[in-house]
Amino acid sequence: MTETKSTRPYKKVLDRLRAAGLRPTRQRLALAKLLFEGGDRHVTAEILHGEAQAASIRVSLATVYNTLHQFTAADLLREIVVDSQRSYFDTNMSDHHHFFHEKTNQLMDIPGDEIVVAQMPPPPPGTVVKRVDIVVRLDE
Partner DNA sequence: AAGAACCTTTTAACGATTCTAAACTAACTT
Partner DNA sequence: AAGTTAGTTTAGAATCGTTAAAAGGTTCTT
Please pick, from the candidates 1, 25, 82, 93, the single residue that binds a second copy as defined by CB under 8 A.
82
* Between 1 and 117, CB nearer to a second copy: 117
Stretch that binds a second copy, among 18-26, 50-58, 64-72, 86-94 (CB under 8 A): 86-94
Distance CA 27, CA 101 (A): 31
Q: Which does 130 bind (CB under 5 to 8 A by kind): a second copy, DNA, none?
A: a second copy
Complete edge-to-edge strand list for the sheet that includes strand 78-83? 42-43, 86-90, 78-83
User: Is residue 54 close enough to count as binding a second copy by CB under 8 A?
Assistant: no
User: Is residue 69 close enough to count as binding DNA by CB under 7 A?
Assistant: yes
Amino acid at position 41, single letter: R
* Between 104 and 119, CB nearer to DNA: 104
Q: Which does 46 bind (CB under 5 to 8 A by kind): a second copy, DNA, none?
A: DNA
Q: Which does 131 bind (CB under 5 to 8 A by kind): a second copy, DNA, none?
A: a second copy
In this structure, how many other beta carbons lie within 10 angstroms of the beta carbon of residue 96?
A: 17
Return the closest-CA partner of residue 64 out of 82, 50, 54, 83. 50
Who contacts 138 (Cβ-Cβ below 8 Å, separation ≥6)?
A: 99, 100, 101, 102
Amino acid at position 88, single letter: Y
Please pick, from the candidates 84, 90, 94, 105, the single residue that binds a second copy as defined by CB under 8 A.
84
Q: Are 89 and 69 in contact (CB under 8 A)?
A: no
User: What residue ranges bind a second copy (CB under 8 A)?
Assistant: 79, 81-88, 99, 101-102, 108, 110, 114-121, 123-124, 126-140
